[in-house]
Chains A and B, each alone.
Chain A
């Protein structure tokens, strides 16, 4: 008992408590530093971008460099807007969703229905690999497939394909995860009534898991909305509104890239970024809210 008796009386508490407090302070400080960029970025975009945002900004096409330069020289607001980008982004995102959502949900249901089977495990691993592929590589792929062999030139379709491959694994995952949370008894109850398999899926599984799947879809969309790199290799861009999916098409992030490279257009950078970010973040928040409610 002697050794412990002596040791037990050692009072180490003061130094240790001080160290504890110091580290807590450090953790709080570093956490504040972590979130400071989001505040700074949003602040910068709002401060610099809000002035250009108007109805005209939303419904007019981008001006050419010369017009912008003249306006800049005269100290006027740059005329025109980003309608061509907005329309292009809409077309490509809708197209990408039309490809990725059905396939993604089907694969997700397949994974859920065949747990532990080899084909399912293999598919799940592939989906994980796809999720990690850098978006620029997806741009390359869509260039090699669609630009070179389908539309024979840069096109909205090519852009949409690269975005669709990007969305696909996210939808697969969210579908499978959502379905896993549905109690098995629900499915069994439906099957016990003699309901055909496809009706169980369409009438029971999908409606029950709808909000979870919807969250995954919204998150997927919000991620591809801001993508620039794959579109540079596939959709290329256009100064006019283009509705033909086999022709080069603009997108809001592509326009930001063009403005960034053109010193005359600087004023348009901030407003377009502000808009893009606002839409992405709002979609993001909505989907996270839905996710929280369903949990």
Chain B
């Protein structure tokens, strides 16, 4: 069912091959194969329960934290299967941003940004730390708002600021790919549009995979879209094409609001 218009993605950032995820006996993601293009925003859409978050979380092996979830198939980055490297090493290449902003409440804004280094046992000099913090916060357009309160707790910020802080935390470690699990679903419209602008800017340097239940968001900011239904990949292609001319009837039904 993959749309022919995206002939071949050469040198993909990520190549998902025949990926399946099981919750106990329940197959939640069914044999998904997709190549993700570098420096794009790729949106994963679909009605709730279709497996979109499950697919995303398989990419940085989050499922391994839970005993009842099992993953099969391959995911290649630079031709190497992610399941062949230690999970903690893989996760350094992949930043993740969650549905609800979750800055570490016991850490200051500053510490939150460099948490990745601390957690990975990498000691930075004071100057290096300052540099990383400033650059990451500038990347998410938060620097001017928080530069005077860097040593306050991150939880004092507004929801939108917290979410940008979480993005900065994910960026600070220099990942190649950023996984975003409905990052704006807990934010108000103004904060949402700030985050969306940010994503468009960030794709210059990163590859972004975005799970969203918001079709207009996908239409606004994504280059490629992937529509899932009941665990299956229904349709994958350039966002523009999919929204104007969906191939699969289920995609059309979803986009016209028949279900979801």
Which A residues are closer than 8 A to B by beta carbons? Answer: 1, 3-5, 7-8, 10-13, 15-17
Contact = CB atoms under 8 A, between A and B. Distances in A.
A4 B121 contact: no
14 contacts: A1-B174, A3-B124, A4-B173, A4-B174, A7-B128, A8-B92, A8-B174, A10-B122, A12-B121, A12-B122, A13-B86, A13-B89, A16-B120, A17-B88
B121 A7 contact: no
A179 to B, nearest CB: 32
Contacts of A15: 121
Nearest to B173: A8
Interface string B167-196: 000001110000000000000000000000
Q: Is the interface of A mostly helix, strand, loop or mixed?
A: helix
A4 B113 CA distance: 13
A3 B132 contact: yes
A28 B185 CA distance: 40
B86 A4 contact: no
Most chain-A Cβ atoms within 10 A of its Cβ — which of B121, B132, B172? B121
B22 to A, nearest CB: 25
A17 B131 CA distance: 29
B117 interface: yes
Contacts of B122: 7, 10, 12
A16 B88 contact: yes
A15 B88 CA distance: 12
B174 A5 contact: yes
Given A15-B121, A17-B86, 5 more contacts: A3-B124, A3-B128, A3-B132, A5-B174, A11-B89
Most chain-B Cβ atoms within 10 A of its Cβ — which of A3, A5, A16, A17? A3
A5 B132 CA distance: 11
Contacts of B132: 3-4
A13 B85 CA distance: 10
A201 to B, nearest CB: 41
A16 B88 CA distance: 9
